[in-house]
Structure 1
Amino acid sequence: MELWGARLYGDPCRDCGFAWSLTPRGAVELVTALPARYAGLTEGRRGDERLPGLAWNVTAYVSHVTDNLRNWAERLAAARLSDARHVPGYDQDLLARVRRYDEVPLAGALWSLRWAVAAWAESVSAALDTGIVLEHVARGGQSAEDVALNNAHDAAHHAWDIARILAYTDERVIG
């Protein structure tokens, strides 16, 4: 069984400080605030900024969060609408290469994030109301509560990554 969530990252997350005690509805609120949070983080930026040691640039992280939210919204909706509960894994790095995250314009990535967040919030809220449990190929049972917290952590963690990238690039410009 693949470790995930607090068992993998610690509680709070040893990197970004995400508190896993957040309620699932609180996770929905956190994710709903993402478009404004990411827009504020990236205001005046190009999106191609990088930090050595991280695989992706700023826009790639925004694109990853967008695709991750879309992916889980779709899976929860499928379970709710058709009882399709099996969830295969996906290779985030392969998806990044295929979608060419590093070439997506930041403005387009932020626009796409707004739509993904809206779909995700609707899907997760409905799944929470109906008690959906997915069966993930590597993680086992994933309740709607688990998905809400895992996705909120992913988004918060990557906001932390983006902030680190931008602080690094600012230091290099100043220094």
Structure 2
Amino acid sequence: MEKWGASLFGDPCGGCGFQWSLSPREAIGVVEGLPARFRGLLAGRTGFERHPDLGWTPAAYVSHVTDNLRNWAERLAGARLSGAVDVPGYDPDLVAQARHYNEIAPGAALWSLEHAVEAWAASVSAALDEGVVLRHATRGVQRAEDVARNNAHDGHHHAWDIERILRDTQPEVPPTRL
């Protein structure tokens, strides 16, 4: 079985400090706060800043979080509505390549995230109420509460990545006219 969650990242997460002990409903709150958090981080920035240690721009991280939320919302809905509990893994780098994450306009990425969060919160809430359990191809059993925490960590961790990018780069300042 693939290590995931706290067993992979540590508790708290060694990078972003995420605490895995939060309740599933608290995890939903973390995800629901992501659009405002990301919008605040990108305020006054281009969204295309780069960090030498990271392959994605801030807007690309927003797009990844969006796609990850959509993916898991769909998987939980599939289990709940159709009984499809067996789910495969996916390669986020291939998705990024196919969608050209580093070229997505930041405003569009933020708009898309808002819609993905709404659908995700509804899907996760319903899955929690119904006790949905997925069988992931490489992670094994993933209960709805595991998905809620994992997705909250993903968003929180990538907000930390964006903070790292923006801390180490300066916004473009227009030249001063004399």
Q: In which range does the TM-score fall when normalised by the shorter chain?
A: over 0.9
Q: What letter corresponds to residue 98 of structure 2 in structure 1? A: V
Correspondence for 2:176: none
Deviations 1:36-83 (A, max 9, x none): 010001101111101111111111100000000000000000000000
Correspondence for 1:132: 132
Correspondence for 1:96: 96
Q: Which has the higher helix share?
A: 1
SS in 1 for 2:134: strand
User: Which structure has the larger Rg?
Assistant: 2
Mapped pair 1:165 → 2:172: no
Distance 1:88 1:76 in 2: 13
Distance 1:98 1:153 in 2: 24
Larger displacement relative to structure 2 (122-131 or 51-60): 51-60
Correspondence for 1:29: 29
TM-score of the two chains, using structure 1 as the length reference: 0.97
Correspondence for 2:19: 19
Distance 2:172 2:39 in 1: 22
Unaligned runs of 5+ in 2: 174-178
After TM superposition, the structure 1 = structure 2 runs for residues 108-147 of structure 1, keeping only pairs within 5 Å, are 108-147=108-147
Distance 1:108 1:157 in 2: 21
After TM superposition, the structure 1 = structure 2 runs for residues 46-61 of structure 1, keeping only pairs within 5 Å, are 46-61=46-61
TM-score of the two chains, using structure 2 as the length reference: 0.95
Distance 2:33 2:172 in 1: 30
Contact kept, 8 Å, 2:45 with 2:172, in 1: the verdict is: no
Distance 2:59 2:86 in 1: 30
After the TM superposition, list the runs of 4 or more consecutive aligned residues in structure 1 that deviate by more than 3 angstroms. none
Distance 1:55 1:42 in 2: 17
1:170 CA displacement: 2.6
Percent identity of equivalent pairs: 65
Q: What letter corresponds to residue 66 of structure 1 in structure 2? A: T
